[in-house]
Structures are given as structure tokens and as C-alpha cells.
Structure 1
Amino acid sequence: MIRIAIEDPDQPEIRAMLAAGEANSASLYPAESNHHLPLDALRAPDVLFHVARDAEGIALGTGAVVLKGDWAEVKRMWTTPAARGRRVAAQVLAALEAAAQARDVQVLRLETGVNSHAALALYARAGFSAIDPFEGYAPDPLSVFLEKRIG
């Protein structure tokens, strides 16, 4: 059983997970193509930071929604290696979508990388479609920009 809830990202095990996600991105892309929100930004009032935990309370995955009015951006999607193949990321994404819908968000948008094949497959299965770069992003051949209408 997986439980997903909004939590403060400033917890030792969550900071470690965020660092692992950043290290993974750094192994795939140059610094200028990585767009991670820092910890302080993840604690802002307009951010809904979610953590997926197993029955023992061990963190398995994270994801955040940054509210921007009638749209929101998905950020910091990450699962631990032990959680892969257990649909944790899909469950986190569904929780993010539900949280955004509850706040009258009409569209979810995100940026991910061209080499992030598991993420691209997840977002395709969830109904996201390719778009042009959106607010805050410049064109980048290593980035893929996606959106999904939810309202």
C-alpha cells in the first residue's frame, strides 16, 4: 500500500531523494538544461509538495505542483530505485493532478529531458502532449515540454 500526502520537503530522507534526482539529471544533461526548484522554492505557499510512502513510512517518491493561477507546473517527480516498477510515479502524478483540480487548475505543464525515457513514457500514458516552451523556459534541444488539460 502506498500513501501519498503533502509534506514539507525539508526532511533528511526527502533532501536525499531530491539530491539523487539532481545527480541523475546531472548525469544526463548539462547544468543549463536542468531546471530543478531548490528546497526553499519547494516550501513556498504556491507549491504542493507530495511524498509517496510505503506501509512502513519509507519515502518512495516525490512530486510537486507549482500553482500559477489556472495552470500549474509539475516539478520534482522522482522515485527511489527500490520503488521503480511499482507504479509509484503514476500514483504520485495522479495525486498531483487531483490536488491541482481541487484548486481549479485547468492545465498541467512540465518540462523534462529527451533522455528521460521512463518519465516520457509515464507522461504519455497519463495523457500529456507536446507543446512549445512555456513561461520561464527557453527552447532547448534537450528539453521536452508537455501539457495536459485537466479542467
Structure 2
Amino acid sequence: MVRALSPPPTLRFELDDLSRPPVRDLVARHLAGMHAQSPPESVHALALEGLKAPAIRFWSAWSGQTLAGMGALRRIDSENGEIKSMRVADAFLGQGVGRAILDHILAEARGLGLAALWLETGSVDGFIPARTLYQSAGFTACGPFDTYGPDPFSVFMTLRL
């Protein structure tokens, strides 16, 4: 028996100031997850204050009144951006929310006139879903970029927009 997939939830994206408790909690859960899978020197996820930097746009994704996920775009320079802090709330895993967040960030980056996006994600098995998502959107492996250096716990990817 083949089970039909449910359509992804309808999401509302908000440019977020990171002040609401559910958003702050999801950022904390994201950081805890990164630290659980990588040594401290290999965790490149940003804490709340880092996500409030002027070069970063941070969005929360809502299904009704429930936080479904988050994602950020850091402007590296006039042509390049970096995806930061993408996370889907546990209750929404496997429902297409990650793809919707990624698509939102890609559209925003194109709207800003960026020519390329970059990202860093983990190399261990717990990051396979993230790497698979990015590959399915056309991201390809590359070397370290911007201020990153080689790291066995990191996978670097890029996409020309």
C-alpha cells in the first residue's frame, strides 16, 4: 500500500527581530543540535546576537500561530550571500518546510541581486538530510569560503543564482 504524501503546510514568512520566545527557543534548539553533532570549534551556527547583525536577514516561518522553522541570509558582499541557521521545528520535519524555507531564501537572494549563495553544513551523518536538500536545489560541494578554513566536520556548498 502506497501512502500519499500530505501537501506541505501553508507557511507565512516574517522578517523577524528574534524577540519572540518560540523563535528564541528554536534558535537555542538549533545551537544545541549543532553542538551535539560537532566539536565546539566546528560549530558555525550563530547565537541570537550574531543573527541580529546588520548583514543578516532572519525569517521565521509560521503555520497558523505555530512556528514551523527559520532561516537566515548573510550578505557577504555585493554579489555573494551565505545561508545561515536553517532549522525546521521538530513537529514539522518531513513536511516540506525545509524546502519552503530554502526556496524563500533563494528568492530573497535573487531579489537582492546576489549572484551566488554559499553555505556551511556538517559532514557527519546527522546532516545528511540537510546536504540532500541543498543538493536537490542545485548546490554543489566547494572549498571553504569567506572566513572559513578547512574543517573535517564541515561541508561547504555553493549555488550560482
TM range (shorter): over 0.9
1:40 Cα deviation after fit: 1.8
Q: Is the 8 A contact 2:121 2:155 kept in 1?
A: yes
Corresponding position of 2:71: 63
Q: Supply the distance in 2 between the matched residues of 1:44 and 1:145 (Cα, whole angstroms).
A: 22
Q: Supply the distance in 2 between the matched residues of 1:41 and 1:20 (Cα, whole angstroms).
A: 15
Corresponding position of 2:133: 122
Q: Is the 8 A contact 1:10 1:39 kept in 2?
A: no
Letter of the 2:96 counterpart: R
Corresponding position of 1:17: 26
Pick the structure with greater CA Rg. 2
Matches within 5 A, 1:41-60: 41-55=50-64, 57-60=65-68
Q: Is the 8 A contact 2:120 2:156 kept in 1?
A: yes
How big is each residue's C-alpha offset from its partner over 1:106-145, in whole Å with a ceiling of 9 and x where there is no partner?
1010000012111011101111000000011110011000
Letter of the 1:144 counterpart: V
Where do 4+ consecutive residues of structure 1 move more than 4 Å?
none
Corresponding position of 1:99: 108
Letter of the 2:154 counterpart: S
Matched, 1:89 2:81: no
Long gaps (5+) in structure 1: none
Q: Please say which of residues 28-37 and 4-13 is displaced more in the overlay.
A: 4-13
Corresponding position of 1:79: 88
1:44 Cα deviation after fit: 2.3
Q: Supply the distance in 2 between the matched residues of 1:33 and 1:46 (Cα, whole angstroms).
A: 22
Letter of the 1:49 counterpart: F
If the length of structure 2 is used for normalisation, what is the TM-score?
0.89
1:41 Cα deviation after fit: 2.3
Letter of the 1:147 counterpart: T
SS at 2:147 equivalent: coil
RMSD: 1.0
Corresponding position of 1:137: 148
